[in-house]
Structure 1
């Protein structure tokens, strides 16, 4: 056997062995090994219990985003959650904010990556509705490419939106007292699961964080699919 043939055999063995090794790493007595995403927000111990491998474990009540209603750019009332099978990504923005343009370009890249995935829904909530009229918002959104209905731009009453951002999405949004034309807020993309729990906050001006979001969406999809197969 010459050296070239020996190398070819080694490569073939490696190609055959790697899938099996990965399968071994991902299995633990028939269960996938993966680290689920964190669940953000206040939580408390419930009075109920569940059992895992014979051990009694107290259930945990996690923060969930409550039902709310805003309007889209056509004036239609949009209620969240509109479908309990959707994973959602949210951000908060306004048109006079330069950094929000960068933020929504990154949002656009995530929308584009998951354009054909029916499990994903995207929302951008306007935080300057007194200035950002529906006509201004319609002109603003024409610069973005996305499938109809996949990425929904929402607006509504300013006070209600600020309470929603702080109380439900756990992110800072408030009018700058020194510069009334400015809204102080955190540039975040927020990942929400099908149970309306926050599973991740991502710096919307940082490409590495956006790449992390794209990867963690895949983890969350796997988590949701596993729940279905475990039923």
Structure 2
């Protein structure tokens, strides 16, 4: 008599769930890496741009290479958003430590995001102020800095940053607020655009409030004495 074939026991439900979760986690971890490799050659969309498109809201973005963005704007944005852009590896740990100390002291932390961290948020995360998103920005910023050149990071950031509802990237912002291309922005206009970034919905570079004008004036003065904050980008690429 032939021995009856033993029936294989079904895989326990807990094991199947664990295997599925590990697979999903692997995809979540790998996806930003794959997308970043793609973004090294392809102009990306930000998560907010995608959300607006999916929900039927207008999106205006005209991609321009970094050499078609005036150095005035490049310098103003770096001075305003991340003065150590060329020195850090995606995260400014001294700034992060200062904000953690404020938090531990019961004060409200603010700032500490580098341009690379902001790009990580724009490409992969969501808007809003919460510590979960901030924590996710750190490894994503390291990953971006490891894969992309500083030139490409700045180029993408300037092309996906929000400058107003539905207005993304410096070319769309320049055309909207000043009626000219990003290559022809003056020092004053560049400073107004750069200082609008922390609050693009409330700050209109074409009709700046007195407070906005003051911030732009400070930015312009700092940019003039900041030295070569674009040292990691060769002069031929600017």
**TM-score tier after normalising by the smaller chain length:** under 0.3
TM-score by length of 2: 0.24
State TM-score, norm by structure 1.
Answer: 0.25
Greater relative contact order (Cα 8 A, min sep 6): structure 1 or 2?
2
